[in-house]
Each structure stands twice: as structure tokens, then as C-alpha cells.
């Protein structure tokens, strides 16, 4: 398992500066958020070259702000999907293997999951085809159980992946989303679908706090995942005013979680 510094943790830095920080701090990988890349104006190909020169692994997090790939508003749906395709194309230019994408969401308080999952499944098949064409893999993130979300547990996401059944598609398990929502972080039986991991601390009210500030124990599920997973685990957290310190502390906390498993 390769631990990645997510650009959401050091969001005041440019993607290029993030790559430098990841090498300096001792991370094995970086995860670049598309929105931060686009805002920076940096070229994907040059950024990917810089990552490879530092011998870091690389994943991309697709855009998420105000997007909904299964919106009942056709204009929003088209724009959201166009931005996801742009993320895949950027990832191909960067030679990143993984592009993390958020699932669709409800369009109103009266919506039901069973009315949206077929559309999500059809789009997942479409985006898997695009990913395969570009030589990357799209992964669908398991979201927290908050209003508007309908892909909020591993079985639901894995069922979509199994029905798509293509090498260009998998799922991202976000342990903080599950633990904060009080949902099982059990991965047994879903191993072939799991292509990416997100980590952060979480409380009863918040996800994506620094690892050491979370109240839920990440150790048991993380060590279980470590038995089969060799990909990228991106640490996502944000501590305003102490970003760099938090990035260092997150790496140290991750090391303790892994070491505890070895001693156990």
C-alpha cells in the first residue's frame, strides 16, 4: 500500500509544490484534485513528468463541486460528465493509473435510490469504456451517508462495479465516510472491486479531519485492507493554518497504524 499526500490537504500550494512537499515529507504518492490543477494552469504532462522523476505514484481526484452525473437536469448532467471526461484525459497525460470520481446524487428530497442507481450503472459502464480507451481506471467513491447521497456503502458500490465488470472500473473505499456514518467498513468478499483507498480522521460531525484527531479507530479496517491491497491510499484532511504540520503528522499517524498491526 502506497500512502499519498492529497492536494486537498495542502490546498494553498500549487500541484507542482505539492509534489515537492510529498517527496520532502516522505510520502510515496500524490493525489491531485482536478479543480486545483485547473485553477493552477499547470500542464498535466509536465506535472506527471515531475511526479515520475521523484519516483512517486500518482492518482487523480476528479472534480466534485456542484456536479451531479445523474442529475435530472440534463444540462448539469452533461456538464458534470464533460468535466469527468476531462479528468480522465488529464490523468492519461499525467500517466496516472487511477481517477477517483464521485457518484451521482439526488436532485430533490423526494428522490429514491432505486430510481437513480440504474442510471449510475449505465454511466459507470460508459466512463469505464472511456477510461480503458485512455489507459486509466475510473473508480467510484463510497460517499458518507448524508442527505442527497445514494452510494454510501461498499455493497452498493461493489454491485455497480460487478455489473459493469470491466477492467476500467472499480471502487474507492473511504474509511472516514463509512466510520463517520456508522456503517460497516467490512471489505471481505469485495476485494476484487477495491482499487483505491481514502483515509482521514472523522468525528461524529465531520469527516476529513487530521488522522490523529479522529475518534474512530482506522486501524482494524486499514490492516485488513493491507492484507490484499497494494495500490494508493490517499490521506485527505484539512487543518487551516497548519497545513504542512498536519501533512507531516498524518504520515506519522499512518505509520503508527501500520506498525500497530505488525506488532499485533
Q: Which tens digits make up the pLDDT trace of 40-96?
A: 999 999 999 999 999 999 999 999 999 999 999 999 999 999 999 999 999 999 999
d(CA 124, CA 68): 13
Q: What is the CATH number of the domain that holds 170?
A: 3.20.20.150
The domain of 105 spans 2-263
Q: At what angle do helices 243-263 and 15-25 cross, to 10 degrees?
A: 40
Q: Which residues contact 24 (CB under 8 A, 6 or more apart)?
A: none
Residue 205 has pLDDT above 80, yes or no: no
pLDDT band at 105, cuts 50/70/90? very high
> What pLDDT sits at residue 260?
64
User: What is the number of structural domains in the chain?
Assistant: 1
Q: How far is CA 9 from CA 89, 180, 221, in A?
A: 24, 19, 22
d(CA 145, CA 123): 21
Q: Which tens digits make up the pLDDT trace of 244-257?
A: 999 999 999 999 98
Q: Which tens digits make up the pLDDT trace of 148-180?
A: 999 999 999 999 999 999 999 999 999 999 998
Determine what percent of the chain is predicted with pLDDT higher than 70.
Answer: 98
> What pLDDT sits at residue 89?
98
Average model confidence (pLDDT) across the chain: 94
pTM over 0.85: yes
> What pLDDT sits at residue 183?
86
Tracing cell 460528465 back to the chain, one arrives at 81
Amino acid at each position: 500500500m502506497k500512502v499519498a499526500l492529497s492536494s486537498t490537504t495542502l490546498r494553498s500550494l500549487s500541484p507542482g509544490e505539492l509534489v515537492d512537499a510529498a517527496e520532502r515529507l516522505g510520502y510515496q504518492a500524490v493525489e491531485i484534485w482536478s479543480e486545483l490543477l485547473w485553477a493552477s494552469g499547470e500542464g498535466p504532462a509536465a506535472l506527471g513528468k515531475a511526479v515520475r522523476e521523484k519516483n512517486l505514484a500518482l492518482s487523480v481526484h476528479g472534480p466534485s463541486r456542484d456536479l451531479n452525473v445523474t442529475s435530472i437536469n440534463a444540462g448539469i448532467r452533461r456538464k458534470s460528465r464533460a468535466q469527468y471526461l476531462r479528468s480522465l484525459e488529464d490523468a492519461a497525460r499525467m500517466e496516472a493509473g487511477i481517477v477517483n470520481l464521485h457518484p451521482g446524487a439526488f436532485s430533490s428530497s423526494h428522490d429514491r435510490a432505486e430510481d437513480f442507481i440504474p442510471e449510475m450503472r449505465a454511466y459507470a459502464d460508459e466512463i469505464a469504456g472511456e477510461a480503458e480507451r485512455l489507459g486509466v481506471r475510473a473508480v467510484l467513491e463510497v460517499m458518507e451517508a448524508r442527505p442527497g447521497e445514494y452510494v454510501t456503502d461498499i455493497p452498493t458500490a461493489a454491485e455497480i462495479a460487478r455489473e459493469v465488470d470491466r477492467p476500467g472500473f472499480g471502487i474507492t473505499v473511504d474509511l472516514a465516510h463509512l466510520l463517520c456514518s456508522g456503517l460497516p467498513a467490512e471489505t471481505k468478499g469485495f476485494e476484487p472491486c477495491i482499487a483505491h483507498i481514502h483515509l482521514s480522521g472523522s468525528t461524529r460531525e465531520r469527516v476529513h479531519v487530521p488522522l490523529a484527531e479522529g475518534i474512530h479507530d482506522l486501524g482494524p479496517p486499514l490492516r485488513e485492507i493491507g492484507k490484499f491491497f497494494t495500490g494508493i491510499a490517499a490521506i485527505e484532511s484539512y487543518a487551516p493554518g497548519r497545513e504542512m504540520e498536519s501533512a507531516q503528522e498524518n504520515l506519522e499517524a499512518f505509520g503508527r497504524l501500520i506498525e500497530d498491526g505488525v506488532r499485533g
